[in-house]
Amino acid sequence: MSRRRQIYEGKAKILYEGPEPGTLIQYFKDDATAFNAQKKGTISGKGVLNNRISEHLFTLLGNIGIPTHFIRRLNMREQLVRQVEIIPIEVVVRNVAAGSLSKRLGIEEGTQLPRTILEYYYKDDALGDPMITEEHIACFGWAGQDELADIVDMAIRTNDFLTGLFAGIGIRLVDFKLEFGRLWEDDYSRVILADEISPDGCRLWDMKTSEKLDKDRFRRDLGGEVEAYQEVARRLGLLPEGADGAVLDLDEARKARKGE
């Protein structure tokens, strides 16, 4: 990594210059933060698991026609992605009352919402990522009208797909965060899905027990963070029963056996 030029470092990932123009290498860290980085820690092996889970979900979304920045996974902690101009908006898709929604509106956590809600937050750590409206987005030019329409469409389609996918493996998709970016081609741009989709940015509950299988285990000092992330990976078919994703992923294990 020392030979590569670092482009950006965030709370959970580092971006490096890619091998070809218009590409970046996205490195997944084990660092964990919560409450706008007021709480910090490390979840050993988290980066390996998030890399595999995000690769899997982005690949499936691409297969149903949702454009993403993902190109391919490079190794245990890195993936090659398209370089995009990140739109400074976090989109939170909510299916079930939890977290800040429950606190703001006094709705009991776990209450199924009458309809899916999309919320927007301005990406600015110094301001605490404040909640914003479509009026703010239009007024300050953070996204054009057509771009926002594309964002809403992709968020709804992603939610429909992931809700069914996770339900099929006994997981309730409570809510999740999405980020989008502009992919420039000549003088034109189009909006595509960027960042990652993993237990870091999703609330995932076991459908039978309501056990939390996401970063809320870190936020709320529940413990068992690695085991929860591994359980999500196992149910998605990315880890065999009893395997430890923090040590080796499947491809690396096969290569090791073959002496590659």
User: Residue 259: its pLDDT value, please?
Assistant: 45
CB of 260 within 8 A of CB of 199? no
The pTM score is: 0.90
User: Residue 15: its pLDDT value, please?
Assistant: 97
In a domain, 6, yes or no: no
In a domain, 128, yes or no: yes
**246-260 mean pLDDT:** 46
Q: Which amino acid is at 196?
A: E
35 or 232: whose pLDDT is higher? 232
In a domain, 156, yes or no: yes
User: Residue 242: its pLDDT value, please?
Assistant: 58
Q: Quote the domain boundaries for residue 145.
A: 85-206
Strands, E assignment, 170-253: 171-185, 188-194, 202-206
Per-residue pLDDT at 19 exceeds 70: yes
What is the domain count for the chain?
Answer: 1
**233-259 mean pLDDT:** 62
In a domain, 248, yes or no: no
In a domain, 69, yes or no: no
Query: Which CATH number belongs to the domain containing residue 179 in this structure?
Result: 3.30.470.20
At 152-163, the pLDDT tens digits run 999 999 999 999
| Three-state secondary-structure class, residue 33 | strand
In a domain, 251, yes or no: no
Per-residue pLDDT at 33 exceeds 90: no
**175-190 mean pLDDT:** 95
In a domain, 230, yes or no: no
Report the chain's mean pLDDT, rounded to a whole number: 92
Q: What percent of the chain has pLDDT over 70?
A: 92
**191-214 mean pLDDT:** 98
What burial class does residue 227 get, using C-beta atoms within 10 Å of its C-beta: 0-12 exposed, 13-18 middle, 19+ buried?
exposed
In a domain, 109, yes or no: yes
